[in-house]
Amino acid sequence: MLVRAATSADIPAMITLEKHAVTAAHWSQQQYEQVFATNEPRREALVIERDGIQGFLVARPLDKEWEIENMAVSGPARRHGLGTRLLGEFLDRARGTGAEMVFLEVRESNHAARALYEKWAFVQSGRRKGYYRGPDEDALTYCLYFA
């Protein structure tokens, strides 16, 4: 398994993977291109590879905080530690920038993702009613404070 910085060449694989991940945020091609645009706000994009791209994570810094904006692992690769490895690599990188906190939103029904975040000591910090569309659902907010 290799975790590496994503490049714009990874966009097609990221879009394909995301389209098959019902619980991932569904972005347009343009939104993915903005992740890699030099004139846009800085973002960190990582991919995990094992016989091709099996997952990705996109996050952005906000002063001493980081927001995980999107994360997905391919269906066949789930429950094999790839999400754990990908998130762990990101958290190490965020900590290395001097971050004090990481936060995110997750669908209330996404029990696997919630378990992954809780495994890394994220705590539920709130709820956003009707945050997600298609299907409509509340988002739970989670945060992790670095000690």
Q: What is the pLDDT averaged over residues 73-86? A: 81
Please state the pTM of the whole predicted model: 0.89
Three-state DSSP at 32 gives helix
d(C-alpha 19, C-alpha 145), whole Å:
31
Domain count, the chain: 1
pLDDT one-digit tens code per residue, 115-130: 999 999 999 999 999 9
**Contact of 26 with 69, CB cutoff 8 Å:** no
> How many CA atoms, within 13 angstroms, populate the side-chain half-sphere of residue 67?
9
Model confidence at 68: pLDDT above 90: yes
**Contact of 3 with 89, CB cutoff 8 Å:** yes
**Contact of 65 with 101, CB cutoff 8 Å:** yes
User: With bands split at pLDDT 50, 70 and 90, how would you rate the model's confidence at 41?
Assistant: low
Instruction: Pick the more confident residue, 135 or 138.
Output: 138
Residue 69's domain comprises 2-145
Amino acid at 116: L
CATH code of the domain containing 6: 3.40.630.30
